[in-house]
Structure formats: structure tokens, C-alpha cells
């Protein structure tokens, strides 16, 4: 059971890193399709780049987290509002074909924190 939990954790981690990694880099390096998409959602160039830089900061934290687990958890918690924001924005603009990745990121945040042996929530 512990092996399955570990496999789920690291597969989720890899996908989380992949999605946020490409999304942040597309915003920072101003890929035309990303810039047009963000503009259609109401975000101008400055907001899009700012969001990309902040997402990239979270990605860097989760990459550092491979060696220092507390940074991974901090990066995941930091990126969670971006996942929720992307999900709600795509739903509000009726872009149902684009909301899947953001919904998966919201779910994977809970999965990653729940399967991490170094993360605890005490109520």
C-alpha cells in the first residue's frame, strides 16, 4: 500500500510540475496563443506576465522541494490559488474545453499534500 501511495504521489508531482511549468513559461516568454487566450479572459500583458512569474516562482519552489521537502509543500500551497483561479476563470468564461487541467491541478494539490509524509494538517 505504501508503494502505491508513493507512486501516486510522484506521478501527481510530475504532472503538477509539467502543467504549471509550461503554463508559467508560456506566460513569461509571451507565447502568442497564451497571450491571446489570457487577453480574451481580460488579462492584459502586464497581468499575464506577472501571473507567469509568480507561477514560475511556485514551480521553482517545487523543484527545490525534490531536495528539501518543505519547499515542495510551500510551492504547492503557493500554486493552489492559481489553480483555483484558472478553474473559476475558465468556467466563468464558458471555456469548458480548457478547464480540465486547472480542475486536475486543484485535485492534485489535495492528493500531493495528502500523500506527502512531511505534510500534516492538525485541526
Chain-centre distance of CA 63, in angstroms?
A: 12
Show the domain range for 73.
Answer: 2-115
Report yes or no on 54 lying in a domain. Answer: yes
Q: How far apart are CA 119 and CA 103, in angstroms?
A: 22
Report yes or no on 20 lying in a domain. Answer: yes
Report yes or no on 104 lying in a domain. Answer: yes
Report yes or no on 48 lying in a domain. Answer: yes
Report yes or no on 75 lying in a domain. Answer: yes
Report yes or no on 102 lying in a domain. Answer: yes
Report yes or no on 122 lying in a domain. Answer: no
Report yes or no on 121 lying in a domain. Answer: no
Residue ranges of E strands in 1-123: none
pLDDT in tens, 54-108: 999 999 999 999 999 889 999 999 999 999 999 998 888 887 777 788 899 999 9
Specify the number of domains making up the chain: 1
pTM, entire model:
0.89
Give Cβ neighbours of residue 66 (< 8 Å, ≥ 6 apart).
72
Instruction: Say how many C-beta atoms besides its own lie within 10 A of residue 10's C-beta.
Output: 12
pLDDT in tens, 7-16: 999 999 999 9
How many C-alpha atoms does 111 have within 13 Å on its Cβ side? 19
Amino acid at each position: 500500500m505504501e508503494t502505491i501511495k508513493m507512486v501516486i504521489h510522484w506521478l501527481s508531482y510530475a504532472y503538477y510540475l509539467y502543467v504549471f511549468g509550461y503554463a508559467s513559461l508560456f506566460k513569461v516568454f509571451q507565447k502568442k496563443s497564451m497571450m491571446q487566450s489570457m487577453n480574451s479572459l481580460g488579462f492584459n500583458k502586464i497581468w499575464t506576465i506577472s501571473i507567469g512569474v509568480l507561477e514560475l516562482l511556485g514551480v521553482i519552489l517545487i523543484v527545490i522541494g525534490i531536495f528539501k521537502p518543505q519547499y515542495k509543500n510551500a510551492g504547492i500551497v503557493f500554486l493552489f490559488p492559481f489553480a483555483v483561479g484558472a478553474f473559476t476563470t475558465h468556467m466563468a468564461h464558458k471555456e469548458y474545453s480548457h478547464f480540465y487541467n486547472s480542475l486536475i491541478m486543484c485535485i492534485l494539490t489535495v492528493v500531493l499534500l495528502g500523500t506527502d509524509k512531511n505534510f500534516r494538517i492538525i485541526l
